[in-house]
Amino acid sequence: MSGEQQTDRRGFLADGARVVGVVSAGVLGGYLAGQRGQAEENRWQIDPDKCVGCGNCATHCVLDESAVKCVQCFDMCGFCNRCTGYYTLDGLDSRDTAAEDLLCPTEAIIRTFVEGKAGQNFYEYTIDTDACIGCAMCVKGCALMNGSLYLQVMHDRCVNCNECAIAVACPSDAFVNVSADKPYRLKRIALGVMRQKAGKSDTAAQKLLGQVHADE
């Protein structure tokens, strides 16, 4: 009788261990699968080295106000007085801030005096994202010089459509899928600059590199 009880207890423990093992393996497998699934979640983004600044981002987004906005890479900007991304060709000569002399149709570029040095005035150009419509006028103007202004899909606004309407309309295949945990991209030249800075223990550059998709 007691022998049968000992055998049953041993069997019970063995069965229990098997069940626990199977459940643990299942949980671990499910967890890993879930993690893998999360890592592969993608977002739409613009490869700034492929963008031609056609203006479709302003008109083809399914949102009333496009999720694509202009961004400024300050490490590429010359902080110029005569900014080709800020002024129209006429405005470059007059440097009048009347609306017709500004390139941006919504006056989304904010020009702020920074300093005067060596007889030159330097200005910082930032983007009012609420006003920006992603038309890329400034991107084309800036491309005449340093090219520090470029477009990015803003993921606090983008609804991440399965088929992005702008990507379909993009004439240069500039829309790419990137990982959801690093959904922004730098221009390749800016990536090089940031890597140089990060190599010299620049913490801001290191932090930025940790936030952007850096495949080349």
Partner 1 sequence: MELLVHYRGTLITAVLAVAVGLASYAVVSSDPLAGHRDRSFTMDFSRVYDVDPALIQYEQTREFSVSMAQPRGISVGPEDQIYVAGDQTVGVYRPDGTTLAMIPTEGRPSCLAVGNDQHVAPGHIYVGSGNRIEVFDDDGSRVATWNVPTDDAILASIAVADESVFVADAGNRLVWRFDPSGELLGTIGNAEAGGRTFNVPSTTFDIAIGPGRQLHVANPGALRIETYTFDGALQARWGNPGVAIENFFGCCNPSQFAVLPEGEIVTSEKGVPRIKVYSEYGEFRSVVAGPRQLGIAQSELGDPRPHQAGVVFDVAADSQGRVWVLDPRRKSVRVFVRLDEHTGGIGFQPVNLESTGWKPIPLSAPLAHASRRHGSWEEQPDA
Residues found near partner 1 in the complex (CB under 8 A): 48-55, 58-59, 77-84, 89-90, 92-93, 103, 105, 117-120, 135-137, 139-147, 150, 172, 187-189, 200
Taking residue 62's Cβ as centre, other Cβ atoms within 10 Å add up to 13
Gap between the Cα atoms of 9 and 49, Å rounded:
69
Q: Which is nearer to partner 1, 54 or 208 (CB)?
A: 54
Q: Which is nearer to partner 1, 127 or 180 (CB)?
A: 127
Where helices occur in the chain by DSSP H, the ranges are 2-39, 56-60, 89-94, 137-143, 165-169, 188-199, 203-209
Gap between the Cα atoms of 137 and 199, Å rounded:
34
Q: Which is nearer to partner 1, 179 or 206 (CB)?
A: 206
Gap between the Cα atoms of 69 and 78, Å rounded:
21
CB of 174 to partner 1, least distance (A): 9
Q: Which is nearer to partner 1, 53 or 183 (CB)?
A: 53
CB of 106 to partner 1, least distance (A): 11
CB of 83 to partner 1, least distance (A): 6
